[in-house]
Amino acid sequence: MAATVSEHLLDWYDAHARDLPWRARPGQPAPDPYRVWLSEVMLQQTTVAAVKPYFESFTQRWPSVDALASAPEEDVMAAWAGLGYYSRARNLVKCARTVSALGGFPDTEAELRKLPGLGDYTAAAVAAIAFGRRAVVVDANVERVVARLFAIGEPLPGARKTIRSRAEEITPGTRAGDFAQAMMDLGATICTARDPKCLRCPLSSACEARRNGDPARLPVKAPKKTRPVRQGRAYWVERDGAVWLVRREGEGMLGGMRALPDDGWSARGDGVAEHSGELLGMVRHGFTHFEIELAIHAVDIPLGDGEWWPLDRLDEAGLPTLFAKAARLALAK
């Protein structure tokens, strides 16, 4: 079965591979490891559509890993604003500096895993796609395809060990990078979460979930936990066509990024004392483990250590999404 699956899938990929800016077409030389690594970091928890403009902007501004290694961290954080999961951006800079010092990316999965911010998935993806190494690459799309192909009914996350083992069985010794990308494309375009298009699937004849009659129910997911809601305040201080922005401290919540002053709603509690002022409104934003309801107050006095930022250049400040929402609300008022 393994040989049949890989052959059918690679034949399908040769004809239907997605055209993505970080990829090489089937049969073409492997892409620059820098572009593979950068795209894989950006794609964690983020859609292809959202990543494309960021990837193109990053690679125009920093076309090589050495260029990125030389960039000030605050510039990278500002360019990352809006992609979320900001620890990725901090690790991006650390990893780029490590790779630059090494003289380039290592070409094995084991050595790639030692780099800052590279877990099992990213190391396997770079090893397979950039260096042609046989590596088992399992993202959410691959997870779904394999769970259906082998009718793995155990709920996630417990099923992941079995899914990985099965993915290992069908990963070929050659064209491992194309195979990994083919599995991703199949999950993204054919074996989708809610509406699998089995009649168009190159693996339909081998798919146990299709034979069982209900592929859409797999993989079985554990019920989502309700996220707690925190409350906080942020302060809008406007003067002479500029707004007062602070730089958040350290590597905690949104660490190192420009933001409006706030009352320390984050776990670090590094905010300014609570102030009164005109309530402009509320914004709500979801993080991984909680949601925040942030009240936006207009005050007259600059709070904390910061800088005046021109309102007509506010989109260049690199505000994280939460504070970009707050700024839009304040400007609308």
Amino acid at 279: L
Question: Is 40 one of the catalytic residues?
Answer: yes
For residue 239 the two structure tokens come to 């003067």
Burial 121-156 (b: 16+ CB within 10 A, else e): bbbbbbbbbbbebbbbbbbebbbbbbbbbbebeeeb
Which of 145, 148, 126 has its CA nearest to residue 43?
Answer: 126
Rounded to whole angstroms, the Cα distance separating 327 from 333 reads 10
Q: Please report which residue ranges of 132-264 form alpha helices under DSSP H.
A: 140-149, 160-170, 176-189, 208-212
Contact between 290 and 122 (Cβ < 8 Å)? no
The answer to whether 202 and 12 have CB atoms below 8 angstroms apart is yes
Run of H or E including 48: helix 48-61
**Number of neighbouring beta carbons within 10 Å of residue 206:** 18
Q: Which parts of the chain are beta strand (E)?
A: 229-236, 238-239, 242-247, 258-259, 278-286, 291-298, 306-310
For residue 97, CA distances in Å to 81, 85, 94, 127, 153 come to 20, 20, 5, 19, 43
Q: Are 230 and 292 in contact (CB under 8 A)?
A: yes
Give the separation between CA 322 and CA 306, rounded to whole angstroms: 18
Helix or strand holding residue 94 (H, E): helix 87-102
Q: How many residues does the chain have?
A: 333
Choosing from 40, 168, 249, 291, the catalytic residue is 40
- Sign, Cα dihedral of 145, 86, 38, 135: negative
Residues annotated as catalytic (active site), given as ranges:
40
